[in-house]
A and B are shown apart, each in its own frame.
Chain A
């Protein structure tokens, strides 16, 4: 299966990855190969197989509803590029 230029551009936008013109041809063949692999897997008959939600054959353990975390804001904000009044600052989001 092949992947189109438009699909690559769209996926790049969704993943917020900048892809230059020059990289697209290489990606076309790399991603195409990956999709070929998926096609091979799809050829297997799975009509009697339960879809797998997780590779581990185990169930999730749950946690009691008790506060165990303490305020570590100072430590976290020490590595943030910009903070003010306890808030993390990010480039302006325009809705």
Chain B
């Protein structure tokens, strides 16, 4: 049987505020356990929450970026459940009157098409603390530093129909929140958490199947694998005539397997009710305008500008504009590099490959855009060959020298483009290879001739200590041999 895959996402975006959503405790990462958990965060009796204005500003900025309606009057509710990392016994969240109403995001797909994914709503809520299950004499350790960190939970419509679409949406969302500067986007630290709702239905059917929710996807790669895994699992069940159970599943990326976390059928009864500790929050036009004034250039606008300003194709422009720090790095490279297309090739090629190999982000790169740009400029003006440039890049990356010109000079990588000197080298090399020259001149098949030409390049590069401009060598060779 053929199946349609239906995917909706819920995304928790940790907001990059300095303090928590309802208290003045710091949210700085990496503090000693419980040193950033105040009386409010610990739910001590007699405390009252006071909402953080910046969390609302960030939420509104997000709403504007996803073309959404802004909730002029939003209300906090209590979602009641017991867990040791939730000291209050409820999570303060928004149910019926969220800060962000319906919106949409357009995603680019590999085949060049684009697709609109609708946002159902996004609401503000607080994060829970962390449970450490290592053995503390048979007990569990609780760190409440994260308790009360502001989150927006973004809920999409079930508009995605493949892992590719879901991952494209996730990347776009990552790109949006990091460009907005409202989230650091570090998935491995849980700053951005994706939960995937997946169901299958017979191809063409209108009726949605039973869905499962898969959690714990801390990279895009795991997300893609987890979706493939869950689709296959559901397909096996359905094709064996079974029934998918509505449940939450925890994905283990290392092992590519998932297990049931809890069954939603045994009624998760959260007994929501409006939080009596908090009044409705009213957002006025002035507040929305102030948030709008803070909006930076967004990835879609940036992509269009990259195509226009640098003459990049859609693919390169998209890859370079998605991530704000990558985009900034490229622009710095291009501004020093004279040739924007060449700068794009180096940023997307050598530079990105190196980041991936070392599992680094752009901001952790040991070289600056200006350094790479200077190198690109030297490739563009023929000072260095592309193979020489790779050596320079390597040296810059390792910190053996801090600018391309000095490295080129110190290592003698400067390409010889003086035609007089090159002609002399060609004459000398050809004089030493009379048989090959004669063979070349007898040959009538241009393809074979071209191949034989390569046989002269090796000795020429050797004669020039690797510094001869290969393009010029080629031209001179052809001229001499065809005489």
**A–B complex contacts, Cβ < 8 Å, 30 sampled:** A14-B80, A16-B82, A53-B274, A54-B75, A54-B279, A58-B279, A59-B280, A60-B278, A60-B281, A63-B50, A63-B51, A65-B52, A65-B53, A66-B19, A67-B18, A67-B19, A69-B23, A69-B38, A69-B40, A72-B38, A73-B34, A76-B34, A76-B37, A87-B136, A89-B141, A91-B139, A93-B83, A93-B84, A93-B131, A93-B140
A34 within 8 A of B: no
Interface size class of chain B, counting residues whose CB lies under 8 Å from the partner chain? 35 or more
Q: Is the interface of B mostly helix, strand, loop or mixed?
A: loop
Q: Establish whether residues A86 and B32, one from each chain, have CB atoms under 8 Å apart when the complex forms.
A: yes
Q: Establish whether residues A84 and B51, one from each chain, have CB atoms under 8 Å apart when the complex forms.
A: no
Considering the chains assembled together, what is the distance between the CA atoms of A93 and B81 in angstroms?
A: 14
CB closest chain-A residue, reference B41: A69
Q: Is the interface of A mostly helix, strand, loop or mixed?
A: loop
A56 within 8 A of B: yes
Q: Establish whether residues B141 and A69, one from each chain, have CB atoms under 8 Å apart when the complex forms.
A: no
Chain A residues bordering chain B, tally (CB within 8 A): 35
Among candidates A10, A16, A63, A84, residue contacting B52 with C-beta atoms closer than 8 Å: A63
Q: Which residues of B contact A18 (CB under 8 A)?
A: none
B276 within 8 A of A: yes
Among candidates B34, B131, B140, residue contacting A77 with C-beta atoms closer than 8 Å: B34
Considering the chains assembled together, what is the distance between the CA atoms of A56 and B24 in angstroms?
A: 25
Q: Which residues of A contact B50 (CB under 8 A)?
A: 61-63
B52 CB, nearest partner CB in chain A, Å: 5
Q: Establish whether residues B19 and A54, one from each chain, have CB atoms under 8 Å apart when the complex forms.
A: no
Which one of A16, A71, A88 has the highest number of Cβ atoms from chain B below 10 Å of its Cβ?
A88
Apart from the given pairs A54-B278, A69-B36, 13 other A-B contacts in the complex at a CB distance below 8 Å: A53-B97, A53-B274, A60-B282, A62-B53, A62-B56, A65-B53, A67-B18, A69-B19, A69-B23, A71-B36, A87-B33, A92-B139, A92-B140
A37 within 8 A of B: no
CB closest chain-B residue, reference A62: B53
Q: Establish whether residues B269 and A59, one from each chain, have CB atoms under 8 Å apart when the complex forms.
A: no
